[in-house]
Amino acid sequence: MKSRISLNNIDKLIPWMLVCLALFLRLLFLGGKSLWGDEFYAAGLVSNGIENLIQNSFRGSPHPPLAFIAIKLSSAVFGNSEAGLRAVSAIVTSWAAVPLYFFVLKRSGKWPAAFSALLWVMAPYSVSMGQEAWLYGIMASVGFTFIWIADLAWTGNRLAGFLVVPVGLAGMLIQHLFALYLFAGFMLYFTVNRNKRVTFKKVLLTGTLLLILYIPFIIPALGQASSRSARISASGADAFILWRYAVRAPTVLARLMAGGLAGENNLWNPSSSLITSGIFYYSFLLTVIPVILFLSNRRISGNLRMWTAGVFILPFLLFLKEDPTARHLTILWIPMALSFAFLVKRFKPAFLTVIPLFLLLLPYYHLSTYPYHRSNWRTAVASVTENLQSDQRVVIIGGQNGGLAWDYYAKSETERLAPRGENPYSVQPTRSSLEPAAVVDSVLSTGTEVWVVHDIRGGPSGEGIAPEHTVLQHEYHGPRLEVILFAP
**Distance (Å, whole) CA 151 – CA 205:** 16
Q: Is 450 inside a domain boundary?
A: yes
- 356 plus 384 within the same structural domain: no
Residue 426 — φ and ψ, nearest 5°? -90, 170
How many separate domains does the chain show? 2
Report the distance separating Cα 402 and Cα 431, nearest Å.
Answer: 17
Residue 425's pLDDT is what?
82
- Domain limits for position 414: 377-487
Does the reported pTM lie above 0.75? yes
Encode the chain (488 residues) as per-residue pLDDT tens digits.
344 444 456 778 999 999 999 999 999 999 999 999 999 999 999 988 898 898 888 776 678 999 999 999 999 999 999 999 999 999 999 999 999 999 999 999 899 999 999 999 999 999 999 999 999 999 999 999 999 999 999 999 999 999 999 999 999 999 999 999 999 999 999 999 999 999 999 999 999 999 999 998 887 776 666 666 666 565 555 667 888 898 889 999 999 999 999 876 555 565 567 888 889 999 999 999 999 999 999 999 999 999 999 999 999 999 988 889 999 999 999 999 999 999 999 999 998 988 999 999 999 999 999 998 889 999 999 999 999 999 999 999 988 888 999 999 997 777 899 888 877 887 655 455 568 888 899 999 999 999 999 987 655 677 788 988 999 999 999 888 999 999 99
Does 149 map to a domain?
Answer: yes
Q: Is residue 386 one of the residues assigned to a domain?
A: yes
Query: Among candidates 118, 10, 47, which has minimal Cα distance to 404?
Result: 47
Query: Among 366, 391, 411, which residue terminates a domain?
Result: 366
**Do residues 468 and 360 both lie within one domain?**
no
* Residue 446: per-residue pLDDT: 93
One-letter amino acid at 386 equals E
- Identify the pLDDT of residue 57: 83
* Residue at 371 is within a domain: no
Co-location of 46 and 137 in the same domain? yes
Angle at Cα 262 formed by Cα 318 and Cα 345, nearest 5°?
A: 80
* End-of-domain residue from the set 335, 366, 397: 366
Of 392, 488, 389, 416, nearest to 446 by C-alpha is 488
Whether residue 416 is found in the same domain as residue 348: no
Number of H helices, E strands in the chain: 21, 4
Could you give the strand order of the β-sheet that contains 450-455, starting from the edge strand earlier in sequence?
Answer: 393-397, 450-455, 481-487, 470-476
Q: What is the predicted pLDDT for the residue at 253? A: 94
- End residue of a domain, out of 312, 337, 366: 366
Neighbours of 51 (CB within 10 A): 8
